[in-house]
Structure 1
Amino acid sequence: MRFSRPRRDPVEVNLTPLIDVVFLLLIFFMVSTTFETRQALELELPESTSGVAAEVSPVTVVITATGLYRLGERELSPAELPGALAAEAEQAREHGLVVEADGRASHASVVRVLDQAGQQGIQRVRIATTESRSSETTSPQAETP
């Protein structure tokens, strides 16, 4: 005797809800993620009308109004500056060094960085400035000495 088998529908996995959930998660993480390249410092850069825009350098020394230095994410005292700059000297010789000095920083602090750069053989040193306030926009500029 022959029994008839019940017909089964083919099993299908519906991927539409899975794709919807993945896109929602992607959008959530894109919106909620913050992109910070470095910590913000309250710097008042000097103004310049003859500066030209420069590419971003991987080696940047920031001089605060109080005379402290920042190289990358490290805060440095004046005594620590030579050793820290020596560690970054090879990259600075290749790509250049940018000095971002606060407008209220002492001249001696800036000269100390320039002197250390000269001792390390770094020849491409740029000083970051902003456009003169008479212009419509204010964007970072760099002068090549």
Structure 2
Amino acid sequence: MELKRRNRVSAEFSMASMTDIIFLLLIFFMITSSAISQSAIEVKLPEASASDASAQDPAAVTISKDGKFFIKDKEIAPEDLENVLVNTFKDDKNPSFTIRADGDAKHKDVVFIMNIAEKHKYNIAIATVEETQ
């Protein structure tokens, strides 16, 4: 006596859910790619002076184009800058400051301040202005 199987497994599956997933992935990659291109906007660093830094943000280090460092309108020698920052933030729980560099300032001066911030775990922000066309 031959028994027939009533439950057969179908080798086919619906592609409708697969197309939905592909469509969602396509939307996701389109959105993220446009966000990446927006963050690649060229910026021009502002020409900052010591008076601009103290008026807008009391916790700001300003670098002039001739390589001088300023905190609150006071010129600070590069070798004393780390000690001044440590003394300024000794009581802060979350120390942070802004780097305001002139557009013609040397990159090594900005990196010098960033190294101090990294050494002492300070949060930093770099002031920039969007380039107008």
TM-score grouping bracket, smaller chain normalisation: 0.5 to 0.7
For these two proteins, the number of residue pairs brought into alignment is 81
The amino acid across from 1:70 in the alignment is F
**Alignment match, 2:19:** none
Deviation at 1:57, TM superposition (A): 4.4
Indicate conservation of the 8 Å contact 2:99/2:125, yes or no.
yes
**Alignment match, 2:124:** 125
Deviation at 1:93, TM superposition (A): 5.7
Distance 2:131 2:120 in 1: 32
1:46 aligns with 2:37: no
Structure 1 stretches of 4+ with a deviation exceeding 4 A read: none
Q: Show the 5 A alignment for 1:1-145.
A: 46=45, 57-90=57-90, 94=94, 96-122=96-122, 124-134=123-133
Q: Greater helix percent: which structure?
A: 2
Deviation at 1:85, TM superposition (A): 1.1
Distance 1:92 1:128 in 2: 21
**Alignment match, 1:40:** none
Deviation at 1:95, TM superposition (A): 5.3
Aligned in 2, Cα 1:113/1:91: closer, same or farther, shift over 3 Å?
A: farther
Deviation at 1:78, TM superposition (A): 1.0
SS in 2 for 1:58: coil
Distance 1:86 1:95 in 2: 10
Aligned in 2, Cα 1:105/1:88: closer, same or farther, shift over 3 Å?
A: same
Deviation at 1:74, TM superposition (A): 1.5
Indicate conservation of the 8 Å contact 2:89/2:95, yes or no.
no
Aligned in 2, Cα 1:99/1:114: closer, same or farther, shift over 3 Å?
A: same
SS in 2 for 1:86: helix
Deviation at 1:89, TM superposition (A): 2.4
The amino acid across from 1:129 in the alignment is T
Deviation at 1:90, TM superposition (A): 3.8
Q: Please, which runs of 5 or more residues in structure 2 have no aligned partner?
A: 1-43, 47-55
Distance 2:96 2:109 in 1: 19
Indicate conservation of the 8 Å contact 2:64/2:105, yes or no.
yes
